Chains A and B, each alone.
Chain A
Amino acid sequence: MVMARRLASTREAYGKTLVELGHENPDIVVLDADLSKSTRTNLFAARFPQRFFDCGVAEQNMVGISAGLAASGKIVFASSFAVFATARCFDQLRVSVAQPRLNVKIVATHGGVTVGEDGFSHHAIEDLALACSLPGFAVVVPADAVETAEVIRAASVTPGPFYIRLSRPDTPVVCEDGYCFSLGKAASMRQGSDATIIANGLMVAEALDAAESLAGQGIECRVLNMSTLKPLDEEAIVLAARETGAIVTAEEHLRQGGLGSGVAQVVVQHDPVPMSFVALTDTYTHSGKPQELLRQHGLTADGIQSAIKSVLSRKG
């Protein structure tokens, strides 16, 4: 039986955490590019207008201004939608932020296809590949609103550039209150020895649902919340490969350059085991309701179950 979970907004958690941080640390500054109502940086703007800068619809400029502020000692949070915060200003992220390792936290909302009806131009499906390719960037996809608050706090006290990807819709809460995020450490969500599902973002909830159904069929899956894509928790991956002998990854992103390829690199280097990837395959997407789109692309508990059965059939 799959249980119903409480839904909560990762964006709202971000905005609220920013306000808390703003009270605690006068060096926190926040920028946005005409999307502050959507990214919820408007909560910070209302409280700390002198430390909030709306750059208008100009993401490249926003990233450059962020770099200048960070080079002058500020802890900078800059937000837009995930498509615009990466692809639109990739060279600016590369030259102005990543290479000099400046203290800029790009917090992008509207990640993945669950943006829904707005269609392909707004579906960020390459953003994690882009962000992960930048040397020195930490890349995090929180599983839910609880983890989001933790991740934002951690980023504020960890020097260097971050890319943090949040969702548009309210998403199922999978982390317990009091959950403690540790950068670069996977969180074990369920024990199991037949196979491991490694997921992040809203796919963690799907992974847990899949594991629950599979348990009913006598298949016990380990579930890891791999919220940190970079630096990747190699130890947890190697243990999963050794102890469960089969791995499925699940992400709301293209198959290339995200969680699946990152995990696969670790697995082939250390302990090759059968793997399967639940992800988008080399395609752009269409308008639709978030749940419809997830289903259309197999980004569901059912999709994960099929993938598990596939890896188990190949397991030695």
Chain B
Amino acid sequence: MVGGTELVKEAHAGSSGNLSASAVLSSAEALPSMAPQDTEIEDLQRMAKNLRRHVITMIAEAGSGHPGGSLSAVEIVTALFFRVLRHRPLEPGWPGRDRFILSKGHAAPLLYAALAECGYFDVAELTSLRKLGSPLQGHTDRTRTPGVEMSSGSLGQGLSFGIGTALAARLDSQSYRVYVLLGDGECDEGQVWEAAMAAPHFGLDNLVAIIDHNKQQIDGWNSEVMNTEPLAEKWRAFGWEVLEVDGHDIGQILAAFNHAEGVKGRPTAIIAHTIKGKGVSFMENNPDFHGMAPTREQAAKALEELA
């Protein structure tokens, strides 16, 4: 078994993330000894690539949607759905399930792809995305899609919902954990900080916020549209345990989730440094692909790159 800290170190050395090694190591200090075998990581990486292909195919078929923010969060969602979450795809309402709440609802295609690959519904359903009558709405709808915890699409609301879910776990003496995925542009919303203040106040150590820090939002770079930095310091100042990881390094992501499980008395925020459009050369760091579908040719080229 590879030690968690070592895993993070190794994984980081091999990654192209824009994160300082010291930040990762200091955040990973207290990792429990449990860490995935390399083969499992490879399996997860294969699944990540698979989800990316689904995302491209779905959005191209729909003719609209948000590839950039779906692609940046692929490793996070892969790690959660195929390794971390305790869930029962054939029993989506199982009360003991860990909750995954997609606050940045425009990444719905990624969530749908993960749900389908887990068996919540047929993979063939994925290409119905955004079509009239489809259970796969443009942004998530908890009344239509099995496995979707929250209706979203209006940014800023997911962390509050997550707090309510985490409080309910405590009231019911349930051990389930709650994971909320937010965008970095989404952190412009005041409600995010209302929730950021409340979760530590309520001492919710069963709650994890993951910020997909791809440094971009619709109108361009965060730093130009609305500077969010220093993001980690803000969450820390609000009372969260804060970890920074390379959000495309599954080993680091798993180590961070593992660490969060050991934190008592307060919630954990994982700042995942990512690249918007990750995995498709002409989409990477290209704000045009925040909310634009690839053409047929672009999709073919993207799928080639993801082969």
Q: A-side interface residues toward B, CB under 8 Å?
A: 29, 50-51, 53, 55-56, 58, 60-74, 91-92, 94-96, 99-101
Contact = CB atoms under 8 A, between A and B. Distances in A.
A91 B154 contact: yes
Contacts of A96: 150-151, 157, 160-161
Contacts, number: 106
Contact of A68 (B95, B143, B163, B191): B163
A68 B167 contact: yes
Contacts of B143: 99-101
Interface of B: 95, 141-143, 149-154, 156-169, 171-172, 190-191, 194-195, 197-198, 201-202
Given A69-B167, A71-B150, A99 B141 contact: yes
15 contacts: A53-B202, A61-B163, A62-B160, A65-B163, A67-B160, A68-B164, A68-B168, A71-B150, A71-B161, A74-B171, A91-B154, A92-B157, A95-B154, A100-B142, A100-B151
Contacts of A61: 160, 163, 191, 194-195, 198
Contacts of B153: 95
Contacts of A60: 156-157, 160, 190-191, 194
A65 B169 contact: no
A74 B168 contact: yes
Specify the main secondary structure of chain B where it touches its partner. Answer: helix
B300 to A, nearest CB: 36
Contacts of A58: 191, 194, 197-198
Given A58-B198, A74-B171, A92-B191, A64 B161 contact: yes
A265 to B, nearest CB: 27
Contacts of A74: 168, 171
A53 B167 CA distance: 9
Contacts of B149: 71
Contact of B164 (A67, A94, A99, A100): A67
Contacts of A50: 171
B74 to A, nearest CB: 25
Contacts of B167: 53, 65, 68-69
Given A53-B167, A91-B154, A71 B142 contact: yes
Given A61-B195, A61-B198, A95 B152 contact: yes
B164 A64 contact: yes
Contacts of A95: 151-154, 157
Contact of A64 (B141, B142, B163, B202): B163
A94 B157 CA distance: 11
Contacts of A63: 160
A197 to B, nearest CB: 40
Contacts of A65: 160-161, 163-164, 167, 195, 198
Nearest to B166: A68
**B157, B164, B168 — which one has the most chain A CB atoms within 10 A of its CB?**
B164
A70 B149 CA distance: 12
Nearest to B174: A72
A20 to B, nearest CB: 19
B60 to A, nearest CB: 28
Nearest to B154: A95
A61 B160 CA distance: 5
A70 B167 CA distance: 11
B91 to A, nearest CB: 16
A69 B161 CA distance: 8
Given A50-B171, A73-B168, A100-B143, A68 B198 contact: no
A51 B202 CA distance: 12
Given A56-B198, A65-B160, A68-B167, 9 more contacts: A50-B171, A55-B198, A58-B197, A61-B194, A68-B150, A69-B165, A71-B149, A92-B157, A99-B143
A68 B103 CA distance: 12
Nearest to A53: B167
B89 to A, nearest CB: 19
Given A69-B164, A71-B150, A101-B143, A64 B157 contact: yes
Nearest to B164: A68
B168 A64 contact: no
A94 B154 CA distance: 10
Nearest to A27: B171
B153 to A, nearest CB: 7
Nearest first, the 5 A-B pairs at minimum CB distance are: A68-B164, A64-B160, A72-B168, A61-B194, A58-B194
A101 B195 CA distance: 22
A64 B189 CA distance: 14
A96 B172 CA distance: 22
B165 to A, nearest CB: 4
A66 B197 contact: no
B245 to A, nearest CB: 26
Nearest to A101: B143
B171 A29 contact: yes
Nearest to A26: B171
B165 A72 contact: yes
B62 to A, nearest CB: 21
B30 to A, nearest CB: 29
A95 B163 CA distance: 16
Nearest to B141: A99
A101 B141 CA distance: 11
A99 B197 CA distance: 26
A68 B202 contact: no
A83 to B, nearest CB: 18
A63 B195 CA distance: 11
A212 to B, nearest CB: 48
Contacts of A66: 164
Contacts of A68: 150, 160-168
**A56, A62, A95 — which one has the most chain B CB atoms within 10 A of its CB?**
A95
A41 to B, nearest CB: 16
